[in-house]
Amino acid sequence: MISLALSILSSTMIFVVFKLYSRFKINTMQAIVMNYFTACFCGIVFQESAINIAEIPHFGWFPFALGLGAMFITVFNLMAITTQRSGLSVVSVATKMSVAIPILFGLLYYKESLGVFKIIGIILALAAVYLASIKKQDGLKIKPTNFIFPVLVFLGSGIIDTTIKYLEGEYIAKNDTPIFSATIFAMAAAIGVLHLSAQALQGKFKFQLKNVLGGIALGIPNYFSIYFLVQALRSGILESSGIFTVNNVAIVMISTLLGILLFKEKLLLKNWIGIGLAILGILFIALEKW
């Protein structure tokens, strides 16, 4: 329970940091790259056993970690494109509704239970994510030519969560979670550096210390969101389908409430209904376990 709560808290802190970026005019791409370096550093620091860098490529999870690192920064860029073309609400819905993919994976691949309470809880949770994320009265509006981008965000986010679950169960030793996470973030950072180098060659790169600080502020909760998610999946408190559902819907619910408290956001009636459904969804999933 503690690991799940800390995963939710870490992911919610990512939301808060991102909200502050616009206030302080942080260059998002530069901050994101620094965030990956910071998260990688955290993984190295918190690795309990001695690290032999030469041995890392021999771990079974290594090629998957490289792929995840590439997906991390690719999905981020897709999220940025989707935000520019269709709005923040579309990104929020696509990202959080992607929880359906790891849920289905857990049910089909691991033959997890699917009782009445869990079914109701998952349905309520998905409805809650949608309603709590829509900040406009007229709902989502996506031009047909832009529809591919939220679809790719949905698939990419879902595949990342599903792959983490698969690797946690099949490849990652108990004490290797930090170095596994560090490898993912190192790959993402390397690709990010190539992107910034291309910007520099084009004369579009301008270094600012605040972007570094913004990246550090993002990287710490980003690392722990992955670390504690893996720990929560191993805790046995809920099956993976329940863990992912509760994790995502709680992040949406708490982020929405923090938007009110910290950023004076105005919520529509449907947002409040979404928060209520989120609470009910979590309760029903908990009832399935007990």
Q: What is the pLDDT of residues 13-70, one digit of tens each?
A: 988 898 888 889 999 889 999 999 999 999 999 988 887 888 899 999 999 999 999 9
Helical residues (DSSP H) of the chain, grouped into ranges: 2-23, 28-46, 62-86, 88-97, 100-109, 116-133, 148-170, 177-201, 209-235, 240-263, 269-289
Domain residue extents for the chain: 2-289
Residue 138 in this model has a pLDDT that exceeds 70:
no
Give the model's pLDDT for residue 290: 60
Mean of the per-residue pLDDT values of the chain: 90
> Hey, what are 34's tokens?
């620094």
Q: What is the DSSP letter of 137?
A: T
CA dihedral (92, 97, 102, 106) in degrees, to 10, reads: 150
Residue 229 in this model has a pLDDT that exceeds 90:
yes
| Mean pLDDT, range 254-268, rounded to an integer | 86
Give the model's pLDDT for residue 67: 96
> Hey, what are 104's tokens?
């289905």
First to last CA, the chain: 14
- pLDDT tens profile 151-207: 999 999 999 999 999 998 889 888 889 999 999 999 999 999 999 999 899 988 888
**Whole-number percent of the chain with pLDDT over 90:** 58
CA dihedral (54, 59, 61, 65) in degrees, to 10, reads: 0
To which residue do tokens 């409040």 refer?
A: 272
Spell out the residues 6+ positions from residue 288 whose beta carbon is closer than 8 angstroms to its own.
113, 115, 117, 118, 121, 242
Give the model's pLDDT for residue 244: 93
**Single-letter amino acid, residue 235:** S
Q: How far, in Å, CA of 108 to CA of 102, rounded? A: 10
Q: What angle do CA 226, 229, 232 make, to 5 degrees?
A: 155
> Does the model's pTM come out above 0.85?
yes
Considering only residues 151 and 144, tell me which one the structure prediction assigns the higher pLDDT. 151
**Contact between 43 and 185 (Cβ < 8 Å):** yes
